[in-house]
Structure 1
Amino acid sequence: MRNLLPGRFARRLALAFAALGIGAAALTAVIVNAAFGARFDDYLAKQQQIHQKQLVVLFTAEYSHDHAWKPQSLNQLAPTVTMTGSQVELRAANGKHVWSLADANVDPATLAMHRDMMGIGDLGPTRKLPITVDGARAGTLEVRVPQGQIPAVDKDFRSDVNQLLAAGGFTAGLVALAVGLYTARRATAPIAELTDAASDLAAGQRDRRVTTIPDNEIGQLATTFNTMADRVEKEDELRRLFASDVAHELRTPLAVLRSELEAVQDGIREPTPKVITSLHDETLRLGRLIADLETLASADAATFTLERHPLSLTALVRGTLEGLTSRFTDAGLDLHTDLAEVHVDGDEVRLRQIVTNQLINALKFVSPGGTVTVTLHQDDGWAELNVADTGPGIPAEDLPHIFDRFFRSRTARADGSGIGLAVAAELTAAHGGTLTADSTPGQGATFTTRLPVLGSGSAKAGGRPEHSSTSRASRRRPNSQPDSGRSPG
């Protein structure tokens, strides 16, 4: 692993864990302090209510003695009221002033000094409390009692809790940071290896693979990358083999053309019709090879378009067979057909190319005296075309690759480029169908083309038929479309 230190993403993930831990601790501190504050406020409010009730009871008892307010008796209450630190004013039932601490020569400064000495806080808001005796309103007591102070033990407790919360938040942050770093390293290690592997692959190191494959989405990505790398390596190998084959096939006709032309130029040979025919055959061979390459390129081009229209697939297959009858006869092969009437929506040129490529493939491999059987029928909304031969069959190791680009079987003859089936598979996929193969060595091979029939739900949806096969085209792009009508030889 190249990246031994955590990368930017890993650091961000670790910091996010730490921030989450600290944030959770801070939120807990806020909630706890808010709860304590509410509790303490309730405590102070209850203390004020108790003091207010005590003062009301005190003045009610004084009125109950004589059922009248007597200033001299009220003055005797001044020391008790002063001890509470409260400020009071008594009014009669009609609202007139009756008595206050000022009437007993107790000034506000004395009350304030007393509150400071007692440590009972400043005065709260004025409350008007009714004084009732025997169900009758005797007066109103306007009172301001001290707000009270939180006891020292309560303050210490609250301070200790805050300190514990702060220490807990700091500890949680450190733990979260450590866990975040560990988790980030574990989470990003496969990504870092995948990044390095992708860089190596892009730099040309085709054997580079990802070794760390966790059991999660990143593991799926790593597996997909390894599959892609295997495919790239395989296609590079096939491309090299293909280039070698193409160079060989180009070299042979070019060498013949050159030797024949030089012989004519030197006067060694006369430009007889036989010589001209030989040169013409070699040029045709070159043309077929170039046409194969152009067709494969067009099948992969972004401008791949199909000129679709309703047509009789039966008539198209029959016409293609008629055009190749002479070649089958010259090759000494028997051609059998069983064609039902089937209609599809497709490109006539491309569909003819699909059929032609499969028939030409049979011509390459079936020995004289063999048989090629072509059948066409409709099966559950799909047109099924089968091209079966009695040739040597396809080797088991080649069967999974016969539709791969640039693949050429070791048993192929030298008169073709080996890409006809790849082109046929591409064109079939472009029509929303599949091209599959089934073969047993020594017992021939059967190629099955399935296409949506005209007006079927599958055709409208552009779907694929569910059809088991030994091998499928290696690349499926139903939206890709060809731009050339040439058929490979």
Structure 2
Amino acid sequence: MRRRLLGVLLAFSVVAVACFAVPLLTALSDERTKGLELSRTADLAWFAMLAKYADESGSPMRLQSELLSFHALYGEDVLVVDSDRNLVASAGDIDAGQDEVPHLIDVALRGGTTSYIPSIWPWSSEDVLLARPFGTGIGVSGAIVMRASVDQAAADVAVKHAMVLTGAVVAMGVCALLCGYVTRWVLRPLANLERGVRALAEGRSGAEVPDTSGPPELRDVVSSFNRMSRSLAEAAATQAQLVADASHQLRNPMAALRLRIDAMGGWVPPERDRSYQAVLREVERLEHLMDGLLKLALADSKATSLAAPREAAAGEPALPEAGDEVCDVAVVLPERLDAWRDIADAGGVHLASPSADDGEPVPIRMAESEFAQVLDIVIDNAVKHAGAGATVRTEVRADGPEAYLQVTDDGPGLPAAELPLATRRFWRSTRGHAPGSGLGLTIAERLVVARKGRFELRRVDPHGLSVRIAVPMSGPAPLPRARAQAATARGVRQPTP
């Protein structure tokens, strides 16, 4: 937009300067041309008077002397002939038979005058022929022809044109500076507003932009954006805090309720056992829902902290960016698969070993705890919904600046219309009856996108579901610890069935 606006302003400036300079250049040329024309017309009139005197006295000596002086001063040729075309006097290289001279003599002998000089420009160089008659008031005694040079006039015009063009260039420079200043003044609030909108879209809480520069109308727009950003930040913070507080505060009553219900198990009559089991299932569903809400609140908080810039206090070293955590996919993935293998076997689901690029480290820009949480959600989703007899396969691939993880199952999958809905909060497919809160894939997507990655769901032919995760890599260098050391140094965390 800046280029377009600057281009329009500069084009307008060029047209404005040209509209001023071109007429001025033309006027200067016409003025110098008219001056030369008047000067040579006066010279011809003087020579005509001398020629008349010479014709009356019979002595052309004075006329010849004046012609030679004129030629020596201006370098221009003059020819004087009588009515019979006989030479009376001349100066310079001109005679009655050259070029257009005979025609001009004919015009002059018929009483006509040729005094027109075309407009002179800096590149003009061709001499101009002028002519007029001389004689008494009742007859023409002869003709005078002058070859006028335009070199000096062209040089004068060139000097004046150079001054005008220099002024035009200076004016264009001033206009360019003014256009640049106006463009920055107008567009700086828009650029700040664009950065603020991008920051708000990336999840930065309370993103604001300065509203101290630019036109008043744009400053009002920026002020409105800042008020909207603050309102959204307060609403988001209130919502996240409400979810976190509600989930946390409900844990103790829910735990007490669970203990009481479990203690009542031995006192429930057989005819009430069905109702008792339904109550247990509802309590478990509420526990899963509260856990999911708390994890979602933590995921939102993490995404916001990653989007917000971190600044160090004055005099302190720069703080590391929130997205500098690194983990190795080739280390974390086998651990999580081993942790889920018993649960998958109990459900009749085969959890295949991962397929990676020659077992090389695949470092990604994501905290190990976050990546493990994403893997737990995706594997849990595949094991629960693929069904008995299904196979879950994982594949890791590093391609350019990103690492790709794909978890595929050959279960029933999801219809194409439901794929965009699967990552919505609390959404659950109507095709299955597996327990869950409907928040797992939402949390996984939120964590991946917060790391500037992509979380995609795709159908598998002829049936099944594929979860494709792309996360930026941290670089080709291996992580400080080796894979074998990592497997023995940490215990494998077991997921909750």
Fold shared by both chains (TM-score > 0.5)? no
For CA contacts below 8 A with separation 6 or more, give which structure has more relative contact order: 1
**TM-score (norm. length: structure 1):** 0.40
**TM-score (norm. length: structure 2):** 0.40
